[in-house]
Amino acid sequence: MTGDPGSYQTSISPINATRGITSKPAVLTGNALAVNVNNNFSVDSTNNQFVVSVDGITGTVTIPPKDTYTIDTFTQALQSGINGLMGTSANGLTPQSISGVTVKYDTTKNALVFTTGTATSSSYIKVSGDAKFGLNGLDAAFGSTSTWIKPTPSKDANGSTVYIDNFGNESTSASGFDNLPEWSPIYLEKGELTFDTTGNLVSPKQGAKLDTVYLPNGKGALSLNINYSKSTQYASSFAVLSQTQDGAPEGNLVGLSIKDDGLVQASYSNGSTHSLGKVVLVNFSNPSGLRQLGNTDYYASSESGVPKFGEAGSAGYGTLQSGATERANVDLTTELVDLITEQRNFEANSKALETSTSLTSNIIQIRG
Go through the chain and tell me how many residues it has. 368
Residue 7 is classified by DSSP as G
Q: Looking at the domain assignment, is residue 10 inside a domain?
A: no
Using CA atoms, how far residue 121 sits from 124, 185, 289, 294, 305, in Å, is 9, 31, 72, 73, 67
DSSP structure string for 231-275: -B--SS---------S------EEEEEE-TT-EEEEEETTS-EEE
Q: Kindly state whether residues 152 and 46 are assigned to the same domain.
A: no
Q: pLDDT-based confidence at 87, cuts 50/70/90?
A: confident
Are 195 and 232 within 8 A, CB to CB? yes
Residue 43 and residue 136 in one domain: yes
pLDDT in tens, 189-241: 544 666 777 777 766 666 777 778 888 888 788 887 777 777 887 777 778 87
CA distance 293 to 299: 7
Judge if 51 and 108 occupy the same domain. Answer: yes
In this predicted structure, what is the pLDDT of residue 110? 93
Give residue 305's pLDDT.
87
- pLDDT score of 91 more than 60: no
Higher pLDDT, 227 or 337: 337
Could you tell me which residue, 329 or 57, shows the higher pLDDT?
A: 57
Domain of 286?
282-317
198 and 267 share a domain?
no
| Sign of the dihedral defined by the CA atoms of residues 11, 13, 14, 20, in that order | positive
**Count of structural domains within the chain:** 4
Q: Is residue 105 part of a domain?
A: yes
In a domain, residue 22? The reply is no
- How confident is the model at residue 92, as a pLDDT? 60
- Look at residue 192 in the predicted model and tell me its pLDDT: 60
Model pLDDT for residues 39-82, shown as the tens digit of each residue: 999 999 999 999 999 887 888 999 999 999 999 999 999 999 99
Instruction: Work out the average pLDDT over 111-128.
Output: 83
Is 340 among the domain residues?
A: no
One domain, residues 137 and 152: no
- Written as one string, the DSSP assignment of 64-112 is PPEEEE-HHHHHHHHHHHHHT-EEE-TTS-SEEE----EEEEETTTTEE
- The dihedrals phi and psi of 298, each to the nearest 5 degrees, come to -130, 155
Give the mean pLDDT of 259-264: 87
In the predicted structure, residue 10 carries a pLDDT above the cut 60: no
85 confidence band (pLDDT: 50, 70, 90): confident
Indicate whether 214 and 159 sit together in one domain: yes
Q: Do 87 and 176 have their domain in common? A: no
Please, which pLDDT band fits residue 94 given cuts at 50, 70 and 90?
low
Evaluate the omega torsion of the peptide bond into residue 204 and state whether it is cis, within 30 degrees of 0: yes
Q: Both 83 and 151 in a single domain?
A: no
Residues 254 and 269 in one domain: yes
Same domain flag for 118 and 92: yes
266 and 206 share a domain?
A: no
- Please name the residue ranges forming H helices in the chain: 71-83, 332-367
Which range, of 2-6, 310-314, 341-345, averages the lowest pLDDT? 2-6
